[in-house]
Structure 1
């Protein structure tokens, strides 16, 4: 029986590669706190998480670099498995 692929070497390598790019969150556009690592990162809302453009539950590939995106933990959680990104409301003041 195979283990959890998120614990595998290929997934960890993809996370390391994506993290090394130092990109802002693809969902909100703000900087990610890449300095937060280890167990603390699992609890901090501004920490890096690997998000997937096409959610895994909708057939996205866990290990495809083209499907990988950098996101805040809070943004990734808020998006869930939706394929659209919620846009902020435009101001009526011009």
Structure 2
């Protein structure tokens, strides 16, 4: 029986590499609390731009982005729209 690939050394190295960059959340653009408890809604999680359930690669550096736990959960297995190459921001036209 094969174990969970997210518990393997290559995945943990990828998470550590992304965490070390201390980038803002790619979904909302706000700073991430890298030192917060992992259960906190504003803590760091690794998010896959193309979800694994839609054919995204688990260990592809080009497919991973930093996200808040809350933003990552809200996104689910959806992919961002074609216009978003960076953080998703909504603005109001006045």
Bin the TM-score by the shorter chain: 0.7 to 0.9
Query: Quick one: distance in 1 between partners of 2:67 and 2:52?
Result: 15
Q: Highest Rg: 1 or 2?
A: 1
Q: When the two structures are superposed, what TM-score results if normalisation uses the length of structure 1?
A: 0.87
Q: When the two structures are superposed, what TM-score results if normalisation uses the length of structure 2?
A: 0.87
Cα displacement string for residues 43-88 of structure 1 (whole angstroms, at most 9, x for unaligned residues): 2000000000100000000111111100000000000011125652
What does residue 15 of structure 2 align with?
15
Structure 1, unpaired ranges of 5+: none
Select which of 61, 64, 70 maps to 2:57: 61
Aligned residues: 88
Q: Per residue, is there more helix in 1 or in 2?
A: 1
Contact 2:29 2:89 in 1 (8 A): no
What does residue 84 of structure 2 align with?
none
